[in-house]
């Protein structure tokens, strides 16, 4: 990490895009050709490394897709679920709701299990839904729902879905690379994430880590040309890392550097340890100032932390935001419908000392006391 060499005017304490190291940004100063064999070999190395990060087992492959993480979620849903398929979506935040909207737009029959924003999905209700509707073919869940910062029990959810013979899709957008998991051991069929989250790259592409035999079934299923996950994968497989359409070359090169820095840090386990410590320092400091966290501790992820806005007529989030930005910190407004909140991200090129400095800055600007 190059935290001492930062040149940014502020720390991005958001769930992505996030603060990146100077060395990640510097890799984007050179230009690369999308047709070049050297560049395509780099793409192949990235694909292999992503699989290695995801599982110690065999039978998995990966595919990169231009655009935001949502592009990859839509590409996966639109490619994996056949015309006669039925999707069960577990929802407890806006990203689960977005999945439902994607499925609706694609004309996919969908069962919605909504557990509201402040609780993880009810496993007994999931079991009843699976047993009561044999037409369900696919189950999808968001691992870390950054609406609140809740960490959903994906291992238990996937186990129940696989026991019922369903294909499992996990939206691990803001958790992959920052929380230890083994998709092979869990039997996840499709895991979706993005370059600009816990691996600490920059925006521009997402990726899907898929069970190869399940992806091979998807030929001809996609409802989209550009978001056809199978065709993108097949092109990369057959042509040595070539993308079907213009590749985000600079972003890919930055991602390669981000992968190197993840390895230098000690891998996912060490990065997860740093994120957890970021959250601990933040939570302890904010509680010491009188702020209250939104979630019960056992459901809280180390990715992003939600706090209730102070109950004071003098308090204004926009003013707090502006004052903290002047001091070098950018935080995030809340998106919860059930409570008045704001959020602070714990991921990116951020260390516990940064969280301590943020808490000190909040204390300095507490104008509503």
Residue 173 to residue 113: CA distance in whole angstroms: 20
Distance CA 166, CA 88 (A): 10
**Same domain flag for 195 and 340:** no
Residue 229 domain-assigned (yes or no): yes
Q: Which residues contact 174 (CB under 8 A, 6 or more apart)?
A: 15, 16, 143, 144, 146, 197, 198, 303, 304, 347
Cα 235–236–240 angle (5° rounding)?
Answer: 115
Cβ atoms within 10 Å, residue 186: 21
Question: Mean pLDDT lowest for which of 5-14, 99-108, 181-190?
Answer: 5-14
The pLDDT of residue 313: 94
The average confidence (pLDDT) of the chain is 96
Judge whether 180 lies within some domain.
yes
pLDDT tens for residues 55-112? 999 999 999 999 999 999 999 999 999 999 999 999 999 999 999 999 999 999 999 9
Whether 232 is in a domain gets the answer yes
Among the three residues 239, 263, 287, which one is the final residue of a domain in this structure?
Answer: 263
Task: Please say if the pLDDT value at position 5 is more than 70.
Answer: no
Distance (Å, whole) CA 76 – CA 206: 11
Residues 63 and 151 in one domain: yes
Is pLDDT above 50 for 117? yes
Q: How does residue 338 score in pLDDT terms, banded at 50, 70 and 90?
A: confident
What average pLDDT score do residues 347-356 get? 97
Spatial contact of 218 and 79, defined as CB atoms under 8 Å apart: yes
Number of Cα atoms under 13 Å in the Cβ half of residue 272: 11
Torsion of Cα atoms, 350 then 42 then 25 then 61, to 10°? -40
Domain count within the chain? 2
pTM of this structure: 0.96
List pLDDT tens digits, range 286-309: 999 999 999 999 999 999 999 999
Nearest 5°: phi and psi at 309?
-65, 140
- Could you tell me if 28 and 114 lie in one domain? yes
Looking at the structure, do residues 319 and 248 belong to the same domain, yes or no?
Answer: no
CATH code of 332's domain: 3.90.1150.10
Q: How confident is the model at residue 9 (pLDDT cuts 50, 70, 90)?
A: confident
H helix intervals, the chain: 22-26, 37-54, 69-80, 94-105, 123-132, 154-163, 183-186, 212-215, 229-238, 249-265, 267-288, 317-326, 352-364
Q: What is the pLDDT of residues 28-48, one digit of tens each?
A: 999 988 888 999 999 999 999
Cβ pair 241, 38 in contact under 8 A: no
DSSP-derived 3-state class of residue 165: coil
Residue 245 lies in a domain: yes
pLDDT classification of 130: cutoffs 50, 70, 90: very high
78 contacts 66 by C-beta, under 8 angstroms: no
Averaged pLDDT, 344-369: 96
CB 210 within 8 A of CB 60: yes
Whether residues 277 and 247 share a domain: the answer is no
Question: Which residues does 182 contact at the CB level (< 8 Å), separation at least 6?
Answer: 54, 55, 56, 57
Instruction: Indicate if 130 and 259 belong to the same structural domain.
Output: yes
CATH code of 150's domain: 3.40.640.10
Domain-located, residue 71: yes
Work out whether strand 86-91 and strand 138-142 pair parallel, antiparallel, or are unpaired. Answer: parallel
Domain span at 91: 22-263
User: Same domain, yes or no, for 210 and 283?
Assistant: no
pLDDT at 2 over 50: no
- CB-CB contact of 1 with 349 (8 Å): yes
Please report, rounded to a whole number, the percentage of residues in the chain having pLDDT higher than 70. 98
Q: Is the pLDDT of residue 6 over 80?
A: no
State the average pLDDT over residues 159-164: 98
Q: Evaluate whether residue 119 is within a structural domain.
A: yes
Which pLDDT value is given to residue 1?
43
Model pLDDT for residues 190-229, shown as the tens digit of each residue: 999 999 999 999 999 999 999 999 999 999 999 999 999 9
Both tokens of residue 259?
A: 């992968």
- Does 147 lie in the same domain as 73? yes
Does residue 273 lie in a domain region? yes
Q: Which residues contact 296 (CB under 8 A, 6 or more apart)?
A: none
pLDDT at 369: 77
Res. 119: pLDDT tops 90: yes
User: Per-residue confidence at 3, pLDDT binned at 50, 70, 90?
Assistant: very low
Least confident of 24-38, 103-117, 269-283: 24-38
């Amino acid at each position: 990490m190059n935290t001492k060499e930062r040149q940014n005017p502020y720390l991005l304490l958001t769930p992505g895009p996030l603060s990146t190291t100077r060395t990640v940004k510097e890799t984007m100063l050179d230009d690369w050709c999308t047709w070049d064999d050297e560049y395509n070999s780099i793409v192949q190395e990235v694909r292999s490394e992503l699989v290695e990060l995801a599982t110690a087992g065999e039978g998995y492959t990966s595919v990169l897709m231009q655009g935001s993480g949502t592009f990859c979620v839509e590409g996966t849903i639109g490619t994996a679920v056949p015309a006669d398929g039925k999707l069960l979506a577990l929802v407890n935040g806006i990203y689960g709701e977005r999945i439902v909207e994607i499925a609706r737009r694609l004309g996919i029959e969908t069962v919605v299990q909504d557990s509201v924003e402040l609780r993880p999905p009810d496993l007994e209700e999931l079991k009843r839904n699976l047993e009561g509707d044999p037409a369900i073919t696919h189950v999808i869940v968001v691992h870390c729902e950054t609406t609140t910062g809740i960490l959903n029990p994906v291992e238990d959810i996937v186990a129940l879905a696989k026991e019922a013979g369903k294909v499992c899709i996990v939206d691990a957008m803001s958790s992959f690379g920052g929380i230890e998991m083994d998709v092979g051991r869990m039997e996840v069929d499709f895991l979706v994430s993005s370059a600009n989250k816990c691996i600490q790259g920059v925006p521009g592409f997402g990726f899907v880590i898929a069970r190869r035999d399940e992806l091979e079934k998807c030929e001809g299923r996609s409802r989209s040309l550009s978001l056809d996950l199978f065709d993108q994968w097949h092109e990369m497989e057959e042509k040595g890392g070539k993308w079907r359409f213009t590749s985000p070359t600079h972003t890919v090169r930055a991602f390669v550097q981000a992968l190197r820095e993840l390895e230098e840090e000690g891998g996912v386990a060490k990065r997860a340890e740093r994120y957890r410590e970021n959250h601990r320092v933040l939570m302890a400091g904010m509680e010491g100032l009188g702020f209250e966290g939104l979630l019960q501790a056992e459901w809280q992820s180390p990715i992003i932390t939600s706090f209730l806005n102070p109950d004071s007529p003098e308090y204004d989030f926009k003013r707090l935001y502006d004052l903290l930005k002047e001091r070098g910190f950018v935080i995030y407004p809340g998106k919860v419908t059930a409570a008045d909140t704001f959020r602070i991200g714990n991921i990116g090129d951020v260390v516990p000392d940064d969280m301590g400095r943020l808490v000190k800055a909040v204390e300095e600007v507490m104008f509503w006391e």
